Amino acid sequence: MSIAVYIAVMAGVTYIIRMLPFTFFRKKIKSRFIRSFLHYIPYAVLSAMTIPAIFYSTNSVITAVAGTVTALVLAYFDLPLIVVALSASAAAFITGLIERSL
C-alpha cells in the first residue's frame, strides 16, 4: 500500500513541476537575463549533484581527484564521452592500486 502512495506522490510532484512553467509563462520570455538564467539552470543542477558524488564515490580523495582531473583534461580536448568516462575510471582505479601498494 505504501509503495502506491509513494508512486502517486512522485507522479504528482513531477506533474506539478512540469505543469507550472506552462501555466505561468504563456508568452515568450523576452528578458535576456531570465532566458540565460533558465538556460544555465540544468547545467548548474547537474554539476551540483555530480561533483559531490564524484568525491564520495571512492574511499580516497586522491583517487577521486585523479579521475576528475583526467576527465576534465580529456573533456577539454573534446574526446567522446565513453573515452572520458572509461579513462577517468581507469585513472581512479590505477591510482587506487598505486596508493594501496605504497
Q: For 37-73, how does the pLDDT look when each residue is reduced to its tens digit (9 = 90+)?
A: 888 998 998 899 999 988 888 889 999 999 999 999 9
In a domain, 11, yes or no: no
In a domain, 8, yes or no: no
User: What's the predicted TM-score (pTM) here?
Assistant: 0.64
Q: Which domain holds residue 59?
A: 31-101
Distances (CA, A) of 81 to 1, 59, 95: 41, 24, 21
In a domain, 68, yes or no: yes
Per-residue b/e over 36-71, b at no fewer than 16 CB within 10 Å? eeeeeeeeeeeeeeeeeeeeeebeeeebbbbbbebb
Answer for the pair 29, 35: CB distance below 8 angstroms, yes or no.
yes
Reply yes or no on whether the pLDDT at 98 is more than 80: yes
In a domain, 23, yes or no: no
